[in-house]
Amino acid sequence: MKLSLVIPCYNESANLPALVARCGEVARSGDVEVLLVNNGSTDDSAAVLACLLPAHPGVRSVHVAKNQGYGFGILSGLRAAQGDILGWTHADMQTDPMDAIRGHDIFRRNGRDVFVKGKRYGRPFADVVFTVGMSCFETALLQKPLWDINAQPTMFSREFFQSWSDDAPHDFSLDLYAYYTARSLGLPVHRFPVLFGERLHGTSHWNVNWAAKRKFIKRTVEFSLELKKKVRIA
């Protein structure tokens, strides 16, 4: 089973040398390809990728001309992927791309009809409290166990991806969409621990302060209510 790991990159040029080198190791670990999505970056990411990628034949790039959201970048990478098992993680190196190899092993042991997701540890206490609160809210609202929703990597079969509706969200709600869809279809969910460390360079594009968290909460609640409404209609 070939694995395709998608990593959306928006203005991550400072992180790219370390990220590409690590992804090269991931690609050498077996039947794996890594797709780095240059997600409408306005820095010199394109030039950096063009310089670095020739040394890593298992790593390739997907270009998105204009940034249309985190989820849009991931979806662009998933559509270009060639693997039987698909997944994504972040570009900031807070989680190790090599974690996907451990997730790949879960599919080898259990077959393709499972949903695999990391479970973060090593995070600041305030972030853990925030995550627990959001997890409890989503679980109560959507009546499905949904814990540490934004943990990475997120991994699943190509067949599962092909079952997604055309209106899959183009923003960070894609994490919730994928997890909730897996629960709704009754896929066995396998979690494994992943260390969540410090960002290598730069700052988060959303988790910078409580104002950003409020914006995240507002959007997540809106999307969750959309999901609940669709369930009632179905």
Domain that holds residue 203: 3-233
Residue 5 — very low, low, confident or very high, per pLDDT cuts 50/70/90? very high
Report the mean per-residue pLDDT for the chain: 91
**pLDDT at residue 200 tops 70:** no
What CATH number is attached to the domain comprising 145? 3.90.550.10
Give percent of the chain above pLDDT 70: 93
**pLDDT at residue 168 tops 50:** yes
Residue from 89, 91, 90, 94 nearest 199 by CA: 94
**pLDDT at residue 203 tops 70:** no
Residue 169 — very low, low, confident or very high, per pLDDT cuts 50/70/90? very high
Q: Which position has the higher pLDDT, 157 or 226?
A: 157
Average of per-residue pLDDT across 141-169: 95
Q: Which position has the higher pLDDT, 213 or 1?
A: 1
**pLDDT at residue 93 tops 60:** yes
Q: Which of 8-17, 159-168, 215-224 has the lowest mean pLDDT?
A: 215-224
Average of per-residue pLDDT across 60-80: 96
**Structurally, how many domains does the chain consist of?**
1
pLDDT for 226 equals 84
